[in-house]
């Protein structure tokens, strides 16, 4: 993901959050897998 796309991705994540999609942290307390899934969704790779 280039820098410009990463910038847009951050905006996309924020838009998801604004529409109530806050995500759920894993047992380690992070969102790694979910972020990866969101990135695939954003890039149209799903």
Partner 1 sequence: MISALNLRDIQEPVEGDLGILKLYLQQIVGQPFLFFRESYGDELTIHLGRPEERKSPRLKNRFRGSYVVTVRGSLWTMVAAEKGMLFLSDPPKELNRAELKKLSFSELQQTPLISPDANVVWAIPFDDLSGGIALALGFSDHGRFIIRPAPHHAEESSEDGELPEIADWEIYTPLGRYLRVGPGQKWAYLPSTSSESPSTTTSRKRKRPSGRRRRQK
Q: With binding defined as CB under 8 A, does residue 21 bind partner 1? A: no
Nearest approach in angstroms of CB 9 to partner 1 is 8
Contact in structure between 46 and 40 (CB atoms under 8 Å): yes
Of 19, 41, 45, 46, the one binding partner 1 (CB under 8 A) is 41
Angle value at C-alpha 9, between 18 and 46, nearest 5 degrees: 100
Alpha helices in 1-46 (DSSP H): 3-18, 32-43
Of 8 and 36, the one with the shorter C-beta distance to partner 1 is: 8
Which residues here bind partner 1, judged by CB under 8 A? 2-5, 7-8, 10-15, 17, 41-42, 44
């Amino acid at each position: 993901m280039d820098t410009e796309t990463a910038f847009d991705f951050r905006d996309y994540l924020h838009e998801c959050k604004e529409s109530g999609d806050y995500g759920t942290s894993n047992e380690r307390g992070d969102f790694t897998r979910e972020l990866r899934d969101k990135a695939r969704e954003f890039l149209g790779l799903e």
